[in-house]
Amino acid sequence: MTIREIVKSPNDILTKKTKKIVKFDQNLAKLLDDMYETMLENDGIGIAAPQVGESLRVAIVDLGEGEEPIELVNPEVLQTEGSVIEIEGCLSFPELFGEVERPFYVRVKAQERNGDWYELEAEDYEARAILHEIDHLDGILFDSKILRVVDPSELEEEVDE
């Protein structure tokens, strides 16, 4: 496994719609493994292929908490419900945090690294992370959704409370 460099904004690869995966092989497995290691190394909870320089429809979300990482290959959003505004950050915007409105619930269909399809339902923080990464795959960056920029000192205050 290789830790890759995170692509930072502004960079064209981050604003382009990604290509669908059609070949489920060792190259895809290596990309997923590299992305996971890169995400962990950078203290992320999610990462999309464009963030490591690959314009492919692949993302990973890992909230920790003893759960297996969620590998999203060719994900499609089937349903969303509700709405909540929370603070987000992004590995491609290391110093930017902001309040973003996203659905509270999401149901997605995606493929495993071997090509098998599965469906997943998620709520709250997990739904937010999944939708953030799927946005990356569609060339949509979280800075375009920020309702209010949050100063890093505000994040420290929330942790202290």
Residues belonging to the chain: 161
Q: Tokens 């709520």 — which residue?
A: 123
Asked whether 89 and 96 are in contact (CB, 8 A), the reply is: yes
**CA–CA dist 88, 95 (Å, integer):** 11
Catalytic residue among 71, 133, 156, 158: 133
pLDDT of 161 reads 45
Answer whether residue 32 shows pLDDT above 60. Answer: yes
Asked whether 20 and 74 are in contact (CB, 8 A), the reply is: yes
pLDDT of 67 reads 84
Residue in 2, 7, 67, 68 with CA at minimum distance from that of residue 32: 2
Q: What confidence tens digit (pLDDT) does each residue in 123-145 have? A: 999 999 999 999 999 999 999 99
In sequence order, what are the residues at sequence separation of 6 or more whose Cβ sits closer than 8 angstroms to the Cβ of residue 37? 1, 2, 3
CATH number of 12-160: 3.90.45.10
Specify whether 133 is catalytic.
yes
